[in-house]
Amino acid sequence: MDVARCPTPRMPTIIVVPGFEPAACHSQQVGKERRSTKCRHSLHTNQMRTVVTERAETSADSDPSLAAEAETRRAADSSERAYNTIRKLLVEFKLKPGERINEVQLSRSLGVSRTPIREALNRLASEGFVSLTPNRGFFVRSLSTEGLLDLYEFRSIIECAAFKLMCERADDSEIDRLRSYWEAIVDAYPDQPPDVILAEDEGFHLLIAELSGNPELVGQLSSINARIRFIRRIQIEHPSHDKAQITSHSAIVEAAVKRDAENGAKLLREHIEMTVSATQQALKDALLKVFAPDNGAELKRRRRARDA
């Protein structure tokens, strides 16, 4: 047969060697097997996921402890959400100072039961944002300055006494705790959110009381903090809260390191007096914000009604 004269075949000639499969066929067969394996694996995975999910659901249904744990998590989430929402309403004066808090209305608007609402309000009461009157319910804390000066005077007495005792009783490592605490927060202090600034400031002053070695001073200062915390937060958000606070804290730390009890107490007293002055101004502006939100229009209307 003359090969040169043979026409070119349309399909390639496959040489079949006994004992071996054609390369193309083998490749196709491997592909089919791989696809089949992949499908079986995918089906198996989906089946396993279904089984695991069903087992988890069955376990939660059949195991009371798991069901109780899940319910506890849901309740905690609801309570935290209620706390954050109500706190925001308070800080933004959407709930006005002195106003009675309607738990039923809050429950409906937040879509939760009254239990998480009550838990949130109790937490806010412990933080000084609201007050609880027996048989009447929760009220938004008043912005009145009545009693405020007495509390700050008491705070000044406690803190000055604590500083002097700290200088007498604390060892060098304890004094270094105060210095380290302030150095760790001072750089970012003025740029922090109001809640963080408030917490760090309270921590600074409570540490001085703790280092005095007198737990009663710590307890009394903590009690005062709870009663003025709401008003202090307003003051921290006010423009009057400036970098002078940083300077005073740094000077107090320096006096502690030198164990200069008299100068440190004097610095603390001046620091608290400066805070009182700034707080009074912040309260005045806050009252205008609450009762005269539209450039004093509401306040003018009230005055006209009073004079009529």
DSSP 225-256: HHHHHHHHHHHHHSTT--THHHHHHHHHHHHH
What is the pLDDT averaged over residues 17-32? 44
Listed range (100-104, 156-160, 266-270, 285-289) with the worst mean pLDDT: 285-289
Confidence of residue 25 (pLDDT cuts 50, 70, 90): very low
Listed range (45-59, 255-269, 286-300) with the worst mean pLDDT: 45-59
Q: Which residues have C-beta within 8 Å of that of residue 50, sequence separation ≥ 6?
A: none
Angle between helices 194-211 and 172-185 (to 10 degrees): 170
Confidence check: pLDDT of 262 > 70: yes
Report the b/e string of 194-222 with b at 16+ CB within 10 A: beebbebbbebbbbbbbbbebeebbebbe
What is the pLDDT averaged over residues 242-260? 90
Q: Give the predicted TM-score (pTM) of the model.
A: 0.63
Confidence check: pLDDT of 17 > 50: no
What is the pLDDT averaged over residues 282-288? 80
Can you tell me which residue has the tokens 């009529």? 308
Q: Considering the chain, what is the average pLDDT of its residues?
A: 78
pLDDT digits (tens, 9 = 90+) for 195-225: 899 999 999 999 999 999 999 999 999 999 9
Q: What is the pLDDT of residue 165?
A: 98
Confidence check: pLDDT of 51 > 90: no
The pair of three-digit structure tokens given for residue 36, joined into one six-digit string: 């089949």
What is the pLDDT averaged over residues 230-238? 83
Confidence check: pLDDT of 7 > 70: no
pLDDT digits (tens, 9 = 90+) for 138-171: 999 877 777 788 999 999 999 999 999 999 999 9
Q: What is the pLDDT of residue 3?
A: 44
Q: Of residues 25 and 243, which shows the higher confidence score?
A: 243
What is the pLDDT averaged over residues 118-138? 91
Listed range (50-64, 102-116, 202-216) with the worst mean pLDDT: 50-64
Domains and CATH numbers, the chain: 77-140 (1.10.10.10), 148-291 (1.20.120.530)
Give percent above pLDDT 90 in the chain.
Answer: 44
Can you tell me which residue has the tokens 């006994």? 18
Confidence of residue 28 (pLDDT cuts 50, 70, 90): very low
Q: What is the pLDDT of residue 239?
A: 73
pLDDT digits (tens, 9 = 90+) for 82-94: 999 998 888 778 8
Highest mean pLDDT out of 31-35, 61-65, 132-136, 243-247: 132-136
What is the pLDDT averaged over residues 58-78? 63
Give the amino acid at 189: Y
